[in-house]
Amino acid sequence: MKEKKRAIFIDFEFTMPDRHGRRKGFYQEIIEAGIVLVENGQIVEQFSSYVAPIRFPVLSERCKSFLNITQEQVDTGISFQELVNRLGRMGQLPASIITWGNMDMKVLRHNCQQAGLPFPLKGAEVDLSMEYKRFFGDQNQTGLWKAVQEYGREGTGRHHRALDDALTTYHIYKLVEKDKQYLERPKPTTIGDRVDFSKLLNKFA
């Protein structure tokens, strides 16, 4: 039986320090997770949840304002252990792990280390923002929603909501893959390309 082509699109939102200085020992923790599992080009599972931070459970005003997240939402979110378990179940079979930027995997790794938990994902990690940058020859990395707008589209839902951003990442992935295939397969020439009709018509004029 042919093995299914699987990809997991992930977006996390993190805690943020206050504008005026950092709290001692502060590090970013995942407070919202959006995960989209795709098999053979079809979404087979979506997951979205707030996550309760462990080390710094009280959100800064800057974090609440920027992400439009309340303290109550993260207080009632799943534990980090539950998030790791969920990722482990979704990543049991081989799959590419696709994110926009490299921060999601960096923070997940660090949070796992701090919590003494094994890193739950085994697949090859793809930073789609770098793929996008290389593909279009951009000097700078492009933001997720700016990238989708450059395609003349709109992002899914609301920016800085984890599941919406994960779905938007998947949306851009499909557009980039389509463009890659288009470049790899040159269009067959038509009879119009092979015959200069203007010259032909002049002959009979």
Express each pLDDT in 8-58 by its tens digit: 999 999 999 987 766 788 999 999 999 999 999 999 999 999 999 999 999
Question: How many residues can be counted in the chain?
Answer: 205
pTM value? Answer: 0.81
Q: Which residues are annotated as catalytic?
A: 13, 160
Question: What is the amino acid identity at position 24?
Answer: K
Handedness of CA 115, 121, 124, 127 (dihedral sign): negative
pLDDT digits (tens, 9 = 90+) for 138-184: 655 667 767 766 666 555 556 668 999 999 999 889 888 887 776 65
Position 200 scores a pLDDT of: 47
Question: What is the amino acid identity at position 21?
Answer: G
pLDDT category of residue 73 using cuts at 50, 70 and 90: very high
Phi and psi at 65, nearest 5°, equal: -70, -45
Q: Which residues fall within 8 angstroms of residue 40, CB to CB, at 6 or more apart?
A: 4, 5
Region 66-88: what's the mean pLDDT?
Answer: 97
Between CA 45 and CA 160 the distance in angstroms is: 20
- Is residue 108 within 8 A of residue 58, CB to CB? The reply is no
Q: Which residues fall within 8 angstroms of residue 134, CB to CB, at 6 or more apart?
A: none
Strands (E), the chain: 6-14, 30-39, 42-50, 96-99, 125-127
Between CA 104 and CA 114 the distance in angstroms is: 15
Instruction: Please report, for the chain, the start and end positions of each structural domain, with discontinuous segments joined by +.
Output: 6-204
Q: CATH classification of 6-204 is 3.30.420.10, yes or no?
A: yes
